[in-house]
């Protein structure tokens, strides 16, 4: 069984919702011991941090073929806890309804993540910003670039609207 490390981080603006970006890195060694790495990033013009984090993890897990042993690193404590403490199993049993606050936010994305997680043997890890290693720093750089690209799209769109109004 192949062992893969997946690192995923997000960057968003100061508002709760708005532009953001994720960076995801997959790292593994093949059977001959040769090291491989794949990077991916995406910016979105309107999102929130949880949605973006789920997208980044799903994107990384979808890339895997067959069943793998996965060390999954995320900067989102909520996602880390949901996997580690098996909240996701309870959500599935309860139809993604929470006792106190209605439905689980982003239930469709959670369902997709759970489907991806169930294909593999996953150990979740929390990225601590003050203790980031090289792959985590690279992830953050990818996320920042994707976030900047999303901001640029918004700025260009506003300029085009202003131009059209004249």
Cα radius of gyration (the chain)? 17
Please give the chain's pLDDT, 166 residues, in tens.
Answer: 689 999 999 999 888 899 999 999 999 998 899 999 999 999 999 999 999 999 999 999 999 988 999 999 999 999 999 999 999 999 999 999 877 778 889 999 999 999 999 999 999 999 988 888 889 999 999 999 999 999 888 888 877 777 787 7
Q: Are 22 and 53 in contact (CB under 8 A)?
A: yes
Instruction: Name the superfamily (CATH) of residues 2-165.
Output: Ribonuclease H-like superfamily/Ribonuclease H (3.30.420.10)
Per residue, the 3-state secondary structure of the chain, as one string, reads: CEEEEEEEEEEECCCCEEEEEEEEEEEEECCCCCEEEEEEEEEEEEEEHHHHHHHHHHHHHHCCCCCEEEEEEECCHHHHHHHHCCHHHHHHHCCCEECCCEECCCHHHHHHHHHHHCCCEEEEEECCHHHCCHHHHHHHHHHHHHHHHHHHHHHHHHHHHHHHHC
Tokens of residue 30, six digits: 């093949």
Tell me what pLDDT residue 121 has: 96
Tell me what pLDDT residue 1 has: 62
Predicted structure pTM score: 0.89
Bridge pairing between strands 17-29 and 68-74: unpaired
Q: Are 72 and 59 in contact (CB under 8 A)?
A: no
Residue keyed to tokens 């990225």: 127
Q: Where are the domains of the chain?
A: 2-165
């Amino acid at each position: 069984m192949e062992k893969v490390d997946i690192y995923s981080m997000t960057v968003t603006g100061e508002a709760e919702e708005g532009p953001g970006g994720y960076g995801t890195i997959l790292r593994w060694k093949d059977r001959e011991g040769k090291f491989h790495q794949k990077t991916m990033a995406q910016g979105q013009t309107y999102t929130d941090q949880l949605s973006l984090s789920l997208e980044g993890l799903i994107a990384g897990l979808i890339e895997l073929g067959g069943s793998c042993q996965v060390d999954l690193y995320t900067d989102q404590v909520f996602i880390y806890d949901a996997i580690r403490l098996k909240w996701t199993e309870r959500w599935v049993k309860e139809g993604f309804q929470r006792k106190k606050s209605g439905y689980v936010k982003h239930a469709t994305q959670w369902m997709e993540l759970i489907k991806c997680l169930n294909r593999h043997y996953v150990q979740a890890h929390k990225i601590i910003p003050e203790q980031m290693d090289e792959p985590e720093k690279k992830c953050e750089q990818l996320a920042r670039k994707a976030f900047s690209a999303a901001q640029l799209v918004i700025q260009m769109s506003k300029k085009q609207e202003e131009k059209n109004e004249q």
